[in-house]
Copies of this chain bind each other. A is one copy, B any other.
Amino acid sequence: MSDTEIKLARIALTMLAEPGTRAVYRLVARHGPVDALTMTLAGEIRDQPTREAVQARLGAGDPRPLAETALATGERLGARLVVPEDDDWPRQVSALEHIQLPGADRRVDRELAPPLCIWVRGEWPLAEAFDRSVAIVGSRASTQYGEHVATDLAYGLAEREWTIVSGGAFGIDAAAHRGALAAGGLTIAVLACGIERAYPVAHTALFDRVAETGLLITEWPPGADPLRPRFLIRNRVIAAATRGTLLVEAAARSGATQTMRRALALRRRALVVPGPVTSAMSVGCHEILRQHASARLVTNVSQVLEEVGRIGSDLAPVPQGPQRPRDQLDDQASFLLESMPRRGAISPDTVATRAGVDIRTALRKLTLLEALGFVIRRDGGYALVTTRRRAATEDDPP
């Protein structure tokens, strides 16, 4: 069975049933994606609501050629597809296999299976990008206070080499992405539609910036619309892929509090920023703190680090040595890094020429190297980071 067959089968399955559908996930887990697709097409799904939903979608045509088109479209858009068969798959999302939300009476609160595949725009290896990551979520109708706090925390965490994950929405999500970008850090926007859809449209430029230095990801194939329930379906991935979820501002029973409930059910760190009790935008935050003993009130970056810095019991142990060793860099980034002078700054042009990399790529890679803490901007150029900290955790180049 070729990689492409596997990928096409997984894509087709996300076209036949919404991501998260347990019946489909179980079929894939038992029979592999290709046979699971054959069985699904043949109506061999036990769960009746799922079988009926699949049947209805089959009315739109055979999903197999559509999947081929989607894969080609994705490639054309500069998006790649990552599947669980890849080394680059973020394994921690498999915690979703066993998640159970208390009092789940809606379908979206029960169909919480792990993703079948993830579309990725941006150059970071997916698993590595999620390795030391924190979700920052909150209300779209945020206040100035909430946005200030979200930006500040995202900036501080990104500065300390934590990836900021959010949903790309207005308000707190956007503040979190922007804070991470301002720190030259890594941020991931998890979309609820096709990778090519800038939703909301006003965030087109923001998404381009995110993809430039971080990642845009989604479970849905190109062309998928940002339908309302998909935001809630998407939220389980934000909760599962990160070390912890930080709720900044949320109205009662908002989408962001739902992400938090998923994080709590997954035993990920559940961190909450309080706010004025007079603000409707903090009601959801205070409710989470009141209802869940394991939710933790946090007020600054070091308190967040104190929580997510611990290795969660249901997360694979994270190596405590070099977090992002050089040998995980791609060729161009490695060449650039090796072309840097041991002391002093160098202009991007000069290092690009030395490394044999075109200037546009060099600028992008240097931003990435900066976000990783290998280089810093200095004297109008870039310089190697040679702090005691970096030296202590990583061997010097030969």
Contacts and interface: CB of A to CB of B under 8 A. Distances in A.
Nearest to A287: B299
A363 to B, nearest CB: 35
Nearest to A286: B299
Contacts of A286: 274, 297, 299
B277 A300 contact: yes
A289 interface: yes
Interface string A68-97: 000000000000000000000000000000
A303 B286 CA distance: 11
Interface string A260-278: 0000000000000111111
A326 interface: no
A244 to B, nearest CB: 15
Contacts of A298: 290
Contacts of A149: 277-278
A179 to B, nearest CB: 15
Contacts of A296: 290
Q: How many copies altogether? A: 2
A67 to B, nearest CB: 47
Contacts of A293: 293
Contacts of A277: 149, 273-275, 299-300
Interface string A125-159: 00000000000000000000100110000000000
A88 B296 CA distance: 43
Contacts of A290: 296-298, 303
Contacts of A276: 145, 274-276
A80 to B, nearest CB: 39
A289 B290 CA distance: 11
A338 to B, nearest CB: 43
A362 interface: no
A183 interface: no
A11 interface: no
Q: What band does the interface of chain A fall in when counting residues whose beta carbon is under 8 Å from B?
A: 20 to 34
A330 to B, nearest CB: 39
Contacts of A282: 274
Nearest to A148: B278
A172 interface: no
- The CB with the most chain B CB atoms within 10 A, among A149, A289, A296, A299, is that of A299
Nearest to A277: B299
Contacts of A274: 274-277, 282, 286, 289, 297
- The CB with the most chain B CB atoms within 10 A, among A276, A293, A298, is that of A276
A279 to B, nearest CB: 9
Interface string A297-325: 11110010000000000000000000000
Contacts of A273: 277
Contact of A275 (B275, B289, B300, B303): B275
A240 interface: no
A52 B274 CA distance: 48
A283 interface: yes
A299 B303 CA distance: 23
A157 to B, nearest CB: 15
A140 B277 CA distance: 20
B297 A297 contact: yes
A296 B291 CA distance: 10
A245 to B, nearest CB: 17
Nearest to A143: B276
Interface of A: 145, 148-149, 273-278, 282-283, 286, 289-290, 293, 296-300, 303
The 7 closest A-B pairs by CB, nearest first: A274-B274, A277-B299, A289-B297, A286-B299, A290-B297, A276-B276, A145-B276
